[in-house]
Structure 1
Amino acid sequence: MTTAAVAIICKTPEAGKSKTRLSPPLTPAQCAELSACFIRDLAANLADLAADGRVVGHALYTPAGSEARLSRLLPTPFGLVLQSDGDLGARLDAGIRDLLALGHGAAIIVSSDSPTLPRASFAAAVDRLLAEDCVVLCPALDGGYTFIGLSRPHPELFADMPWSTADVHRLTVERARAIGLTVHEVPMWYDVDDRETLAVLRADLAGEPLPFACDGAARMPAPTTAAWLARLDDSATPAFAPAFVATPAERRVAR
């Protein structure tokens, strides 16, 4: 059976280096904890998605030397692929190539900041990618994308891109069309990377309708994230605090 790799692009959570745009209101340690919750929930959802045999979950991670800490957040089996050096575009391009080199017929790279992204979006992307040479995008609220999928490398989609701007999705579509690559899109979703999108996540977890979401969109569960936020909101119950501090050995490897 031809398979599609779905890889979470992520940094192994560490206080002071994870979700920094959420501090404040969160502390650096809380930002790392929340990042870990996102990775754990998204990886668990991808493992469920893999039950039909077409999807294989991976983490496209950094830094080197953090494998043991990251693996504690992941189900078994779940692949680990180290990110390359370079800017985000170089890392995405190399990540697509590395995943395809493992023998998969397609590769999807998804942000670790979208723990509730609907299962139907992944399923639709896999269907398209295993049928044709195309790009599949899940547009994000901020003008970027929450995932990108390809069935073969197309470096033109990543080079010299103004990352972290509202133009990323638009420019990616324009570049794909310029090289004759068919573009497919799944419904818009959101990344959690600031106060505003954290509020969107809270509304999503509470079951409130999201104005940009398709009617009936089956959001994937994020129980670890929901439980952590509930603990955070309950002043009588401290949020759990797993150890997200790099060891000296890990810091030496990361250098």
Structure 2
Amino acid sequence: MPPARLVIFTRYPEPGRAKTRLIPAIGAEGAAAVHRRLTEQTVAAARASGLAIEVRTTGAPHDRFADWLGHDLVFVDQGEGDLGERMQRASSPLPVLFIGSDLPDLRAGHLAEAAKLIESGRTVLGPAEDGGYWALGLTEAADYLFADMPWSTDEVFRLTAARLAERGIVPALLPTLSDCDTPEDLARWPALSPGTAQRSRG
């Protein structure tokens, strides 16, 4: 099995459009700063893992992403549609490992472990504390995982595992991680506070 492509989904940290559920608590600028820092941490972990990185983007032209995250990365537009449609488009060529960009506790070791499992032929899932998943690794086409999924609900992991089970696939499970979407989430990681995040930009 060839090495997995690591596909990261993110958006440009434009105030008012990034991490909108944090805006009531810390304002649009603060929410965008948190998103900026989380994405930068994700890309740093991805680089340290040694995997080939593809960043699926929305919210700005690729040159702005390159100026922000580095000109060594591959940038591809996410395109239209819900998350499932965008993931389905990004799933070829295989094998592939999908992750988001809002995981404060993500480390290179998590990605290296996932890649090793994928290269051994396993389907991989990383459970998220909110009932979704933070990672999905595929070795073969799995369009059935992307259609008619209630994204951003606590049913996503359960339904994904059930759809795999219907086809006799038992995924290898990665450690459970939590993403940072709400003010309650943000309280768990003080280093992501807006003031600290803003200072990292300077």
When the two structures are superposed, what TM-score results if normalisation uses the length of structure 2? 0.91
Q: Percent identity?
A: 30
Q: What is the aligned counterpart of 2:189 among 201, 206, 210?
A: 201
Question: May I ask how many residue pairs the two structures share in their alignment?
Answer: 202
Structure 2 counterparts to residues 137-176 of structure 1, below 5 A: 137-176=125-164
- Runs ≥4 residues deviating over 4 A: none
Q: Does 1:25 align with 2:25?
A: yes
Measured after TM superposition, the shift of residue 6 of structure 1 is 1.1
Q: Secondary structure at the match of 2:25?
A: coil
Report the CA distance between 1:57 and its aligned residue: 1.3
Give runs of aligned pairs for residues 41-60 of structure 1, distance below 5 A. Answer: 41-50=41-50, 55-60=51-56
Matches within 5 A, 1:71-90: 71-90=66-85
> Residue 49 of structure 1 aligns to which amino acid in structure 2?
S
- State the 1:24 CA deviation: 1.7
Residue 84 of structure 1 deviates from its aligned partner by 2.8
How far 1:135 sits from its partner (Å)?
2.2
User: In structure 2, what residue type is equivalent to 1:239?
Assistant: Q
Opposite residue 11 of structure 1, the aligned amino acid is: R
Distance 2:44 2:138 in 1: 23
CA distance in 2, matches of 1:196, 1:11: 22
Residue 249 (structure 1) aligns with: none
Name the CA distance, whole Å, in 1 between partners of 2:70 and 2:61: 16
Structure 1: which 5+ residue stretches go unaligned? 203-225, 243-255
Contact 2:132–2:157 (CA under 8 A) maintained in structure 1: yes
Q: Which of 90, 106, 111 is matched with 2:100 structurally?
A: 111
The letter for the 2-side match of 1:198 is L
User: Using the alignment, how far apart are the partners of 1:183 and 1:45 within structure 2?
Assistant: 23
Paired with 1:82 and 1:177, the residues of 2 have a C-alpha distance of 32
8 Å contact from structure 2 (residues 84, 149) kept in 1: yes
Instruction: Indicate if the aligned counterparts of 1:21 and 1:193 stay in contact, CA closer than 8 A.
Output: yes
Q: TM-score by structure 1 length?
A: 0.73
1:62 to 49, 58, 61: 58
Structure 1 CA distance, aligned partners of 2:159 and 2:78? 23
In the alignment, the residues of structure 2 paired with residue 6 and residue 17 of structure 1 have an alpha-carbon distance, to the nearest angstrom, of 25
